[in-house]
Structure 1
Amino acid sequence: MKIARELYDQLVAHARAEAPNECCGMVASADGVAVAVHPAENMAASPLRYEIDGKQQLEILDAIEDAGHELGAIYHSHTRTAPEPSQTDINLAFYPDSLYIIVGLKDPEPDVRAWRIVDGQVSEAELVVE
């Protein structure tokens, strides 16, 4: 997925604003290019996991569809660990067509990586910041 620097910076800013808890949200895309970031509230309010309220999730998905876009990625942050999918992340990956972006904040410089998670299988995906 390609992502503009401005949208990438929004992901990082959201993660930093929610720390020490994890942040979460969705990224709309068109033809493999991120076009909008949709921050969500982490209902779990936890540094170890995230949960998007079902009503808010539906509202975001409707907004993405109404704009003629697709769900390109679901994002969240890891505030204490590397930006790699945890077993919980893998177990709760219900959107095989979208990427999973994780913003790692354990080091002073954020580490943002994208993953494809399909049927429990994890592979790193390309995230190109333009």
Structure 2
Amino acid sequence: MSRAPLRPRGAYHHFTPISTRWHDNDVYGHVNNVVYYSWFDTAVNAWLIEVGLLDIENGNPIGLVVETGCRYAASVEFPQMVEIGLKVARLGSSSVTYHLGVFVEGAEEPAAEGQFTHVYVDRDSRRPTPLPEPWRTILNSIA
């Protein structure tokens, strides 16, 4: 059974540098799989804050994660810097799916790739709400 190749560095439109930490390594000497999901969450939310779409305390709507996934191709270990590539893969009426790539600093080929889906909901009712048009414009800037 063959699998599709992972997306190269050029497939992504924004990068977030992250340092691996001592406790990221597991007993096998590489970064544990659960850490990758933390990197995805960090990269998406850091970009949303940077472009003014995420106000943690008062923002409305808010994004709730409804799906994540990851495919691994190579080990990452402490001490290495990684760069998390980000692009919008799908923009729905109230949802956004991101593609993310994990690159050891300077590498062209990813060590892993993932996807991450937010559904945007009203802060109070927690019911899905359409993305505001200005948000769609910003999100499309990395599609």
Q: TM-score, normalised by structure 1?
A: 0.30
Higher CA-based Rg: 2
Q: Which has the higher contact order (CA 8 A, sep 6+)?
A: 2
TM-score, normalization by structure 2: 0.28
